[in-house]
Structure 1
Amino acid sequence: MVRVLVVDDTRFMRTVLVNILIDEGIEVVGEAEDGQQAVELYLQTKPDVVLMDIIMPRMDGMMALKTILGINPAAKVIMVTAIQSIEMAKLAFKCGAMSYIIKPFQKQGILQEIEKVLHS
């Protein structure tokens, strides 16, 4: 079973993502509301994939991405954000993100990206 960590500072968005994943039989190993929690939960749960927002308090998604990849260079992180910027997407990929999804997203888009990242 695929294990996913969901990271977003908005409870509503975490709930939407968690419901999509659970409906597809994907195990949600944790939810974090900021980058600091994301790193802590990553260490505890060792998920297969991390779905991570960029703009968050305490530690933003880019710093959390870099920190997680510092812990495990093989970590699979998908950025899920409302930032529709080519420059931000390029930066995310440069920092090690495996995918970049723009909110609002379609259920199938999330599931396809998880599948793609798992097999890359």
Structure 2
Amino acid sequence: MDKTFMIIDDDVNVRKMLAILIRKNRLGKVLTELDSGKHAAQEILFFNPDIVLIDLLLPAMDGIEVINEARSKGYKGKFIMISQVEDENMVAKAYESGILFFINKPINNIEVVSVIKGVCRIIDLENSLALIKNTVMNYDAENHKIKDTNDKNIETRINKIFSDLGIIGVAGSNELLKVIYTVHELKLENPNAEYQLQDIYEKVLEEDDDNIEKLNVKSLEQRVRRTIQKALQTLAELGLSDFDNDIFLEYSTLLFDFKQVRQQMRHIENPKEEPGKINIKKFIEGIIAKLRYSQ
């Protein structure tokens, strides 16, 4: 499905250029254009575009203020900021407000199209993930078990994902695999099962008779966390080299908060920036969702 766009910039030439790029590359439909921040949040809510291309410095209300107001009133779409502002603090505030990307003017056509295509892919993947979460309620009424035909090769499939993420064979990957498999087994018994990670860690340790090092819960959790952090690093490096990379686009939203992936990308570019953060449970649930509903 074609994406819908709104362009907010006080420079009519920029608006025309962006509209032409969207139309020429068949990226979607521009619903409307605004030349000011005045009433922009209300217009965003009214048109509800998938993607808003917005300048930082706008008459009446700047881009960050517009974004914050739109977000506070429930807008769930994506923001891409295109501006000539290069002040690091202002750019940081823009990211904090919820933009996915900040593109500097003058506009580079190839960069703009690449970023927009990437954001479109992110939207598609998020929609797919939402569908997966809705579908997870489809289970056998008699046995109350999720229908799963791929359980025999589950370890192989997890390792394939690990290979994509650059963590196959690294220290901690074996422990992470066991944690994921344990949660997977729990979900097979009851798709609505709630769990605490500490309980999962304890179960893994109880069943791990081959554990020479005799890990405790804390050390196991640290190994799992470091391994997932390494996966985040791999994705961020992929995104920096090729934003259209399929692995980057799929896993950066399925397994992580995309804002944190973007933060890790900024950290790679400038080590003074804070690294991105991970959510262990989101990572595990994302992999289980992919295992369940992909072939």
Instruction: Give the Cα separation in 1 of the matches to 2:71 and 2:117.
Output: 20
Structure 2, unaligned stretches of length 5 or more?
123-252, 254-295
- Relative to the length of structure 1, the TM-score reads 0.91
- Answer with 15-24 or 67-76: which moved more: 67-76
1:73 CA drift (Å):
5.3
Report which stretch shifted further, 38-47 or 22-31: 38-47
3-state SS, counterpart of residue 36 of structure 1: coil
Q: Hey, what's the Cα distance between the residues in 1 that align with 2:22 and 2:74?
A: 23
Distance 2:92 2:17 in 1: 26
- The unaligned stretches of length 5 or more in structure 1 are none
Matched position secondary structure for 1:94:
helix
Cα offset for 1:98? 1.2
Amino acid at match of 1:92: A
Instruction: Find 1:86's aligned residue among 85, 88, 100.
Output: 88
Name the stretch that deviates more: 17-26 or 67-76.
Answer: 67-76
Contact 2:40–2:66 (8 Å) recurs in 1:
yes
Higher relative contact order by CA 8 Å / sep ≥ 6: 1 or 2? 1
Give the alignment of 1:1-120 within 5 angstroms.
1-25=2-26, 26-72=28-74, 74-118=76-120, 119=122, 120=253
- Considering fraction of residues, name the structure with more helix: 2
Question: In 1, distance between residues paired with 2:116 and 2:40?
Answer: 18
Letter in 1 for 2:89: E
> Which range moves more in the overlay, 1-10 or 109-118?
109-118
Distance (whole Å) between structure 2 residues aligned to residue 73 and residue 93 of structure 1: 16
Q: Identical aligned pairs, as a percentage?
A: 24
Q: Name the one with the larger strand percent.
A: 1
Shift of 1:111: 1.6
> Helix, strand or coil for the counterpart of 2:38?
helix
2:40 is matched by which residue type in structure 1? A
State the number of aligned residues: 120
**Residue deviations 1:78-112, cap 9 Å, x none?**
11100012221111011111110000121121122
**RMSD between superposed Cα atoms in Å:** 1.4
* Paired AA for residue 24 in structure 2: D
